[in-house]
């Protein structure tokens, strides 16, 4: 091997290693790319600031809190949530304002009054046990580096009255950012883990008055949301989907290396590549089987890149074999070039796909 060839090998090996490390860096960045919501209501001062901006000063303020004890995905977009919910009323609160809450986005929901008592400050506390099935707008495109936001949107049961739900922050030990409260720490939510929980006020725009014309302004007021941020555990995805693709890439390269060393014949190489093509299809189908009723996800770029590299190799090897039989030499159709450019081109394509999908520049 000439000195020039050794320099080329070292150069392309360094380039391939750098691209592989860049891919790992992007995946790692996406895994820990968690940004807390800036709209969190974390203390009484922020709550007072938000209340001061509400237009209707005649609203009855009802402190509301909840503790979640179960979360279950019944399908990719439906979440079942269960727990306890409470409200605190002062002595001047009328009975029509003590009806609890409803979840407007629920498919089905049930509540049961557990107990009612009066505190030493002459306040009434009501606690309900609730179960609700919520249809959520969950995005799976960044799978397996996807965060999910489960939100419980709450209305007062008598939403046509001047009732404004506020978070009962004083009932929790810590409501600061990047903390979890209002949820049982022993909840099993595999393959997810809880990142944080928080209250927010969200303003919804409706194109109707819900048939209640005298309160058309009321339904446009901010609504109380309790949010649960969850993050997927990517270990099972790495083992089940990423490692098989990396194995196929390595097999493609080493088979090409064996062919260039004349250890295997072209027929064996073609048969092996066709087999690896079907292995890629099976791996792709396995991924789609995990994501029924989900659109395209960014991890499928690995399979697309594998299809492209296999078909490209088959085409160039066929062209090389035809030229070899005609005893024609070419600087482009050269096995040494295939071996040199294989990893940089493949990893370059995957890095571009990953960057565009996980960190879109526009």
Asked if residue 38 is part of any domain, the answer here is no
Last residue of a domain, one of 171, 206, 232: 232
Same domain, 198 and 248: no
pLDDT of residue 128: 95
pLDDT of residue 336: 76
Asked if residue 191 is part of any domain, the answer here is yes
pLDDT of residue 332: 47
CA–CA distance, 312 with 332 (Å, rounded to integer) = 14
What DSSP character marks residue 107?
Answer: E
CA dihedral 50, 56, 58, 62 (to 10 degrees): -40
User: Is the model more confident about 119 or about 85?
Assistant: 85
Q: What is the mean pLDDT of residues 296-303?
A: 91
pLDDT in tens, 239-278: 788 999 999 999 999 999 898 888 888 889 999 999 999 9
pLDDT of residue 343: 93
State yes or no: pLDDT of 313 exceeds 80: yes
Same domain, 114 and 24: no
**Nearest partner of 242 among 273, 280, 276, judged by Cα:** 280
pLDDT in tens, 12-51: 889 999 999 999 999 988 887 777 778 899 999 989 888 8
> What total number of domains does the chain contain?
2
Q: Which residues contact 12 (CB under 8 A, 6 or more apart)?
A: 340, 341, 343, 344
* Residue pointed to by tokens 């409470």: 86
pLDDT of residue 7: 82
Percent of the chain with pLDDT over 90: 43
Same domain, 194 and 71: yes
State yes or no: pLDDT of 318 exceeds 90: no
Same domain, 121 and 60: yes
Strand partners, 116: 126
Asked if residue 215 is part of any domain, the answer here is yes
Phi, psi of 51 (to 5 degrees): -65, -30
Asked if residue 188 is part of any domain, the answer here is yes
Residue 215's pLDDT band (cuts 50, 70, 90): low
Asked if residue 37 is part of any domain, the answer here is no
User: Is the model more confident about 208 or about 289?
Assistant: 289
Asked if residue 36 is part of any domain, the answer here is no
Structural domain harbouring 287: 3-31+235-358
Asked if residue 97 is part of any domain, the answer here is yes
pLDDT in tens, 102-155: 999 899 999 999 999 988 778 899 999 999 999 988 888 888 888 889 999 999
Could you give the residue ranges of the DSSP H alpha helices within the chain?
3-31, 44-53, 235-237, 243-260, 266-290, 300-325, 335-358
* Residue pointed to by tokens 């395209």: 296
Same domain, 113 and 72: yes
**Nearest partner of 67 among 49, 86, 89, judged by Cα:** 86
Same domain, 48 and 175: yes
User: Is the model more confident about 78 or about 210?
Assistant: 78
Same domain, 162 and 270: no
Q: What is the mean pLDDT of residues 329-346?
A: 75
The strand ranges marked E within 91-191 are: 101-102, 106-118, 124-135, 147-156, 163-167
User: Is the model more confident about 205 or about 62?
Assistant: 62
Last residue of a domain, one of 190, 216, 232: 232
Last residue of a domain, one of 212, 232, 252: 232
Same domain, 67 and 155: yes
DSSP string, 167-202: E-GGGSS--STT---SB-TT---TTEEEEEEEEEEE
Percent of the chain with pLDDT over 70: 90
CATH code, domain carrying 52:
2.70.170.10
Q: How far apart are the first and last CA of the chain?
A: 47
Asked if residue 39 is part of any domain, the answer here is no
Same domain, 55 and 145: yes
pLDDT of residue 295: 85
Same domain, 170 and 228: yes
Same domain, 150 and 213: yes
Same domain, 16 and 94: no
CA–CA distance, 45 with 300 (Å, rounded to integer) = 46
Determine the angle formed by the axes of helices 243-260 and 300-325, rounding to 10 degrees. 10
**Is the torsion defined by CA of 243, 247, 248, 249 positive or negative?**
positive
């Amino acid at each position: 091997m000439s000195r020039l060839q050794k320099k080329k090998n070292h150069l392309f090996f360094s380039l391939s290693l750098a691209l592989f490390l860049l891919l790992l860096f992007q995946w790692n960045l996406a895994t820990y790319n968690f940004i807390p919501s800036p709209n969190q209501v974390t203390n009484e001062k922020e709550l007072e600031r938000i209340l001061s901006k509400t237009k209707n000063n005649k609203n009855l303020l009802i402190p509301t809190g909840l503790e979640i004890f179960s979360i279950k995905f019944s399908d990719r977009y439906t979440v079942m949530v269960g727990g306890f919910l409470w409200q605190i009323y002062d002595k001047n609160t009328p009975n029509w304002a003590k009806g609890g809450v409803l979840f407007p986005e629920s498919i089905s929901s049930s509540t049961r009054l557990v107990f009612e008592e009066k505190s030493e400050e002459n306040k009434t506390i009501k606690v309900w046990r609730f179960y609700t099935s919520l249809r959520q707008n969950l995005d799976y495109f960044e799978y397996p580096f996807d965060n999910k936001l489960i939100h419980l949107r709450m209305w007062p049961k008598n939403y046509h009255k001047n009732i404004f739900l506020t978070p009962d922050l004083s009932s929790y030990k810590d409501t600061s950012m990047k903390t979890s409260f209002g949820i049982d720490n022993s909840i099993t939510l595999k393959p997810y883990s809880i990142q944080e929980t928080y209250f927010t006020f969200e303003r919804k725009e409706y194109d109707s008055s819900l048939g209640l014309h005298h309160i058309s302004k009321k339904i446009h007021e901010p609504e109380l949301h309790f949010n649960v941020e969850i993050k997927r555990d990517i270990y099972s995805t790495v083992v089940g989907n990423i490692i098989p693709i990396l194995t196929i890439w390595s097999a493609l390269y080493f088979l090409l290396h064996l062919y260039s060393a004349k250890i295997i014949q072209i027929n064996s190489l073609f048969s092996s590549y066709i087999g690896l093509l079907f292995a890629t299809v099976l791996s792709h189908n396995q991924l789609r089987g995990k994501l029924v009723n989900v659109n395209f996800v960014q991890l499928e770029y690995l399979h697309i890149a594998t299809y492209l590299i296999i078909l490209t190799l088959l085409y160039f090897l066929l062209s090389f074999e035809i030229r070899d039989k005609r005893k024609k030499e070419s600087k482009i159709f050269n096995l040494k070039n295939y071996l040199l450019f294989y990893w940089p081109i493949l990893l370059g394509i995957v890095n571009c796909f990953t960057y565009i999908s996980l960190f879109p520049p526009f």
